[in-house]
Structure 1
Amino acid sequence: MIPYLVTVHYRRPDGRRRRLYIPVLLMLLLLSPLVLLAVLGGVVACLVTGVSPVGALRGAGQLLWALPGTRFELEYDRTAVMVSVR
């Protein structure tokens, strides 16, 4: 399943908490010109280095498909960040 929502929890050093909800599909639509340029740059890089572009795209797709359920937590002093992909 492709991820559809990224939740970012942020705790500031003063103790206040923030929560951001980022819809993946909306961000993909808004940034689609940049995504297209990134894919084209990746294909060119694959051809220059001798890596199969189809295999690289397949691997990137599998990585994207495996993202739902991933949680990343980072805490430093009194600041904390947690990223959750659903």
Structure 2
Amino acid sequence: MMPQLVTVGYRRTRVWIPVLPVVLVLSPLLLFAVIGGLVACRVAGISPLGTLRGVGRFLCALPGTRIEIADGEHALLLSVR
């Protein structure tokens, strides 16, 4: 399942970012990134299909991830739902 919502918190401010609208807006750039990645895989001698499968599995594993970093008065929260 694709992540639906990313929450980014810095100090006491939280921002909710819906994933689908961001992907739709950035889709033209995403196409160039995928093509560039495939070319880089070919140059490096890595299987492009294996790389795409690995990226897909990584994205499917993201929902439920919660990362909290605190250092003194600074704190960062990243939550993927």
Structure 1: give runs of 5+ residues left out of the alignment.
12-16
Which SS does the other structure have where 1:3 is aligned?
A: coil
1:5 aligns with 2:8: no
Structure (1 or 2) with the larger CA radius of gyration: 1
Structure 1 distance, partners of 2:60, 2:45, is 25
Q: Which residue of 1 aligns with 2:18?
A: 23
Structure 2: give runs of 5+ residues left out of the alignment.
none
Q: State how 1:4-83 maps to structure 2 within 5 Å.
A: 4-11=4-11, 17-83=12-78
**Scaled by the length of structure 1, what TM-score is found?**
0.91
**Scaled by the length of structure 2, what TM-score is found?**
0.96
Q: CA deviation at 1:10?
A: 1.4
Q: CA deviation at 1:33?
A: 1.1
Q: CA deviation at 1:37?
A: 0.8
Structure 2 distance, partners of 1:75, 1:44, is 39
**Aligned residues: percent identity?**
59
One-letter identity of the residue aligned with 2:62: L
One-letter identity of the residue aligned with 1:81: L
Size of the aligned set, in residue pairs, is 81
Coordinate RMSD, CA, aligned = 0.7
Q: CA deviation at 1:70?
A: 0.3
Structure 2 distance, partners of 1:63, 1:45, is 19
